[in-house]
Chain A
Amino acid sequence: MRSVVESKKLKVFNIGTSWFVRPIEDQGLEVYNIDWSPPVKIDKDILSILKKLGRK
């Protein structure tokens, strides 16, 4: 299969799901993965408890 990335000098930043990292790595490129996901919707009372525990 022809590589979708022609230049070996590319450096890739992947934001979010790590699924996309491996195929790029498989093509010999350097990938920086930033573990990010959209903010989670949390009920107010749950958020309040988590805050009391210093977790949010």
Chain B
Amino acid sequence: MDISEEIEKANRKAFDIMNRGKAVLTDFDFARKVIPGMKENIILHAGPPIDYADMIDPMKAAVQGALMFEGKAENLEEADKLARSGEIEFKPCHEVSSVGPMAGITTASMFVAVVENPEFGNRTFCNLHEGRGKILRFGATGKEVLDRLNWMNENLGPALKEVVKKKPVDLKSIAAEGVQMGDELHQRYRASSLLFLSSISENLLELPNAKEIFKFIADREQFFLNLAMPAMKALADPADGIKYSTIVTRMTRNGVSFGIQVSGMKGKWFTGKAEVPIGLYFTGFSQKDAAGDFGDSAIMETLGLGGLSSAAAPAVTRFVGGSPKDAIHATEQGYKITYGQSKDILLPAMDFQGAPLGIDILKVNETNILPSINTGIAHKKAGIGQIGGGISHPPLKAFNDALREYAEVYGL
């Protein structure tokens, strides 16, 4: 077989694995109990590797808030000192089968969702959804933020654990149905969040604190975000490490750099500068206020959702700027850089074609088409939170560097 045939065979395999996998929510537990290698002195963050000193302000602040949540610091100054001391080890979520939206900060005592892919036997993890406004993932650290995190740990997590232990939830099916109902599953999760709530309601309503749990989830239109992300990671991870494959298995950003990984070069990050998203800003804010793009949520586009499935969610175009035609165009562009189409996630506006699946670095390099990523926009200063929504793209450099390295690795 020549190398082109090897690549085709490997990419077919990676694509089939991503397509065939399932994602089932089976548990909630403390990060230290379920995430492989998680320890008290480890802090997980979104994006490719980055030192604390180099993090953008909202991510630094989220680290400080998390250290206060863990009881390791009394205030932000103490937390900052501890974070710089060398006693804390910072790791990308992705490197321990995890994902986290925006700052992605996850510590040992936080409750996380556990998602299983029974087809391939792997598990993935994600922290719980706080909502919008002043929240840790955007770098807010006040009393209300820490109080909410404690309430989530003491009430929401244990309640959800009890509920999904009784009846695991098929997250891929909810994602597929959500897309039929107008979600593209990065910016808009309205339908899928309600579908999730509906799927757990029978067992949830038996709990003594059902009303407050129900209200917490129902009030958060993006609640499904923190479940869809580990679901997509559960589908992506088994496709990693296939010799010769040029399919992208990870796309993520930390506010400074955007990193990708490619199946045939397992574990290697290829990075470039993270863009400031272009989009619509809330009143009083503009692009000059925005932080560089951050969060592991580009795992949604890695599996063909979000920006690549924009055609599913015409309502989102009004939020991120553009028109429904732009949304269809983004999905058409997605088809040009992917191996094939999802067999389960179908897009009504594209005559029920499957979502574009399996981003191929060869196709990106030969077309210079970059996957479109629908994203929230955070203020560059910590604690202000979300200031808009928009679209960003990975840097072409990351795809160029990946292909150069591929040529080295495979002797081209």
Interface residues in chain A, defined as those with a beta carbon under 8 Å from any beta carbon in chain B = 17-19, 22, 40-43, 45-46, 49-50, 52-56
Contact = CB atoms under 8 A, between A and B. Distances in A.
A50 B404 CA distance: 10
B329 A49 contact: no
B362 A53 contact: yes
B368 A42 contact: yes
Given A49-B407, A53-B4, A54-B4, A42 B365 contact: yes
B1 interface: no
A50 B368 contact: no
B403 A46 contact: yes
A42 B367 CA distance: 9
B332 A52 contact: no
Contacts of A49: 365, 403-404, 406-407, 412
Nearest to A41: B368
Nearest to A37: B367
Given A40-B366, A41-B368, A53 B329 contact: no
A17 B329 contact: yes
Interface residues of B, number: 17
Contacts of B365: 42, 46, 49-50
Contacts of A50: 362, 365-366, 403
A38 to B, nearest CB: 10
Nearest to A52: B412
Nearest to A50: B366
Nearest to B332: A18
B3 A53 contact: yes
Interface of B: 3-4, 7, 325, 329, 332, 362, 365-368, 400, 403-404, 406-407, 412
A19 B404 contact: no
Contacts of A56: 366
A40 B404 contact: no
A43 B7 CA distance: 22
Contacts of A40: 366-368
B400 A46 contact: yes
Contacts of A54: 4
B118 to A, nearest CB: 36
A26 B142 CA distance: 54
A53 B325 contact: no
A55 B363 CA distance: 9
A46 B404 contact: yes
Nearest to A53: B4
B325 A19 contact: yes
Nearest to B3: A53
B404 A53 contact: no
Contacts of A18: 329, 332
Q: Which 3 A-B pairs have the closest CB atoms?
A: A40-B368, A49-B407, A52-B412
B412 A22 contact: no
Interface centre among A22, A52, A53 (most CB of B within 10 A): A53
Given A18-B329, A22-B325, 13 more contacts: A17-B329, A18-B332, A40-B368, A42-B366, A43-B400, A45-B404, A46-B400, A49-B365, A50-B365, A53-B4, A54-B4, A55-B362, A56-B366
Contacts of A55: 362, 366
Contacts of B400: 43, 46
Nearest to B363: A55
9 contacts: A18-B329, A19-B329, A40-B366, A46-B365, A46-B404, A49-B403, A49-B404, A50-B366, A52-B412
A51 to B, nearest CB: 10
Nearest to A19: B325
Contacts of B368: 40-42
Contacts of A43: 400
A38 B313 CA distance: 29
